[in-house]
Chain A
């Protein structure tokens, strides 16, 4: 299956088995679009501040 690199289907979890359409090019919105599960979606990562970076050497500051 060839999917246009600019189509949402390109990153959709269901792309290979999708029953909605055979035409997976130029799709820029879809109600059934779903990404793969995010890695490490542990709530503690947002509830507990991570200050460990302060101990590391400050390498760059771009803005």
Chain B
């Protein structure tokens, strides 16, 4: 049997390297939990890999053929769940890796979901809005019943948004008979609020990052009031995490975005900074009473908490030596390299891993799905309260495993996710 592990070994010089990274993490976690070898075989492969070529008529009347992907890694815990990205560089390996990662993420969060990912290999900037709509709708039609509200639930990802999800939902629902259309609205999550979307979905990930920091602080008897923090990335995740931390009395002393790095030891007021960026083409640079810093100095800034909330592979071995924070909360996916993490843990720096720290987003998606499924409309306060409850439950489980098994929080998170899947397979057995 060809497993993903074998495939990775065969593709030693894989351009992406992503599948290799995800498989390494899985191998490590499987070893830690002494995973049943038969279950390891199942989890090492994807259930389904769909590659679809579909035609779309362009504005000039010509027809263009697109390549779309949907990889469904595992559905032992429930319907497949994962984003759809539109990008010229996606290929089957990248989609497989991301699908597998979704399985661990949903399993850790205790959601009734499996893992999937997909997308279309294309450069969206080359197409008009009308063309993008037709591409999206034609892809949805081509996917047919390979997606569905109780089978596989896509969500926004790179270059896709609430509008894309609304087109998918509308197309999917239109293929059903009239009496069944409205009960298929939860075929996607991340929809616009007026079309079944969740109130507060924009802040779910950032709020989750904040909650993880808060729970960690409570457990370690650390008071957040007057603690200093820095944020890399001032997008949805970085901004909302900073917003809630500031409300708790902590002080934002450094921010880095795509345009520059700014600091103020006395504190940067989060709302004022957001307003400033709105009138400054999105840039934080030049914010009143702030000083500019070189980008290479960012992770070495004096602070108590560091929140990398932009992109992966940023905290490298070199940067790890400079870090002064006692806590790193990973808002982004994969911001700390394996070598850097080892060094940081040796130095006693705590790391709340991405798979736990930024899971507020997927939990928010689950709430949207539930809301549509039950024909309900939830209010913001209720959503935030439910998110708080869910995140606390997961955080405490990870911390407990980490302390009882004397392992770092990332390993503990993977152990919990894989043990949950293993337990399900042991209970259910393998058909026939």
* A contact set with B: CB distance below 8 Å: 4-8, 10-11, 14, 17-23, 26-43, 45-46, 50, 52-53, 56, 59-63
Contacts and interface: CB of A to CB of B under 8 A. Distances in A.
A8 B87 contact: yes
Contacts of A63: 54-55, 142
Nearest to A15: B258
B124 interface: yes
29 contacts: A6-B91, A8-B158, A10-B88, A11-B87, A11-B89, A11-B123, A20-B256, A20-B258, A20-B310, A21-B311, A22-B296, A27-B311, A28-B94, A29-B158, A30-B332, A31-B236, A31-B238, A31-B311, A32-B257, A33-B311, A37-B125, A38-B125, A40-B129, A40-B130, A42-B128, A46-B129, A62-B53, A62-B55, A62-B63
A32 B235 contact: yes
Given A8-B158, A11-B87, A20-B310, A38 B132 contact: yes
A29 B333 contact: yes
Contacts of B431: none
Nearest to B294: A19
A38 B54 contact: no
A31 B232 CA distance: 9
Contacts of B310: 20, 30-32
A11 B124 CA distance: 10
A60 B128 CA distance: 22
Given A7-B89, A26-B18, A53 B57 contact: yes
Given A42-B128, A62-B55, A26 B16 contact: yes
Contact of B128 (A20, A34, A40): A40
Contacts of A11: 87-89, 123, 125
A20 B311 contact: yes
Contacts of B132: 38
A53 B61 contact: yes
Interface in B327-384: 332-333
B361 to A, nearest CB: 11
A20 B259 CA distance: 8
Interface in B115-162: 123-130, 132-133, 142, 158-159
Nearest to B21: A26
B314 interface: yes
B20 to A, nearest CB: 10
B98 interface: yes
The 5 closest A-B pairs by CB, nearest first: A45-B130, A31-B235, A30-B311, A40-B128, A32-B258
Contacts of B237: 31
B278 to A, nearest CB: 15
Contacts of B295: 19-22
Contacts of B125: 11, 35-39
A6 B94 contact: yes
Interface string B158-188: 1100000000000000000000000000000
Contacts of A22: 295-296
A29 B40 CA distance: 27
